[in-house]
Amino acid sequence: MRYLIPIVLFIAQTGMAQTIAECKHRFDKYLNLKGALSDRVQFENNAFYILNDKKEKEFAVYTNETKVLADFFENSSLTEQAKLYKLKGLNKLSKKQLDSLAMTMNDDSKLPKPNSSKPLQNIRIAIDPGHFSSNYEDSKVEGKYVKLVNEKSRKKDTITLVEGQLTFLTAQVLKNMLEEQGAKVILSRNKENMTAFNQTYNDWYKYRRNKVLDSLKQKKELDDDKYKILKQFPKEKLFWAFFRDYELLERAKKMNSYYPHLSVIIHYNVDDKNSPWTTASQRNNSMCFISGAFGTKDLAKPANKLHFTFTIGKTSSAIRNY
């Protein structure tokens, strides 16, 4: 009997040229969920535009620029991207400017030459084992566990599965398999039951929580009211109100700084709805998520706007056919 379905997400980081129509297709089909981003992007025949808060055009990507800009956004720092975003604005880049932009990029994202004995030689892969708990007690905070009870012999046959443990063990197996093929692999969290901050959530809550909240307040990333509320929250509440997203950013930061050719995010979901369920399932699903899941609020942050621009302009594709 099957109970859980492994969900492995692949995000290949291969920026490739595409037409504006293809960018629009990508945006409509995958990125603009229920029209949430319609006020942020405008497509015309020969360009797409990122709009500012007043819905005015702020940055343009023209047909002949898609390839170079996709490569640039993939192979440059946020500071360089912010500079280009501001300087370029709605201007069209000349051939000379495009050429010089192409020349300034590093070659980190290019796939290494295939090696016949080790087909993944030197390919960088980042794996994110979803969640962090590896035991039932800790997983109660995340709510990522199932208890399967055999009705006939209740005590004997109860099986407890903790998603954070399954994803971590899967990541270990996958890492070894990929390394055998020559890949260079990192994990977003390196030990069982640990968060991406290299400590358990319990320890983070005990020893680091106040420091983090204080510093965010100081940097004005948390306003006074929210700060006061979060400071009072017990462990479970703070997890849902703050830590979950905060830790996810740390995972993304780690993975991005590795410039992976491919990212793999592992979860075990019940089905495509993943809503509360009470019985085991015979279904066998695979889910695929497309990178770039930004909401309107996210785009208030300049850095997210840059990531988002890149997401529309690139094509995710399989890394290679082996």
Footprint on this chain of Zn ion (rule: CB under 5 A): 130, 267
Supply the minimum distance, in Å, between the C-beta of residue 144 and Zn ion.
6
**Is there a contact between 71 and 15 (Cβ–Cβ < 8 Å)?**
yes
Supply the minimum distance, in Å, between the C-beta of residue 58 and Zn ion.
35
**Nearest residue (CB) to Zn ion, 207 versus 289:** 289
Long-range CB contacts for residues 279-285, cutoff 8 Å, separation at least 24 = 280/1, 280/2, 280/3, 280/148, 281/2, 281/3, 281/5, 282/1, 282/2, 283/2, 283/5, 284/2, 284/5, 285/5, 285/7
Supply the minimum distance, in Å, between the C-beta of residue 143 and Zn ion.
10
Supply the minimum distance, in Å, between the C-beta of residue 285 and Zn ion.
13
**Nearest residue (CB) to Zn ion, 146 versus 212:** 146
Token pair of 106 as six digits: 């590093």
Q: Taking the CB of residue 54, how many other CB atoms lie within 10 A of it? A: 7
**Nearest residue (CB) to Zn ion, 261 versus 267:** 267
**Is there a contact between 278 and 34 (Cβ–Cβ < 8 Å)?**
no
**Nearest residue (CB) to Zn ion, 189 versus 267:** 267
Give the 3-state DSSP-derived string for 265-293, with helices as H, strands as E and coil as C: EEEEECCCCCCCCCCCCCCCCCCCCCCCC
Which residue has the CB atom at the shortest distance from Zn ion?
267
**Nearest residue (CB) to Zn ion, 168 versus 197:** 168
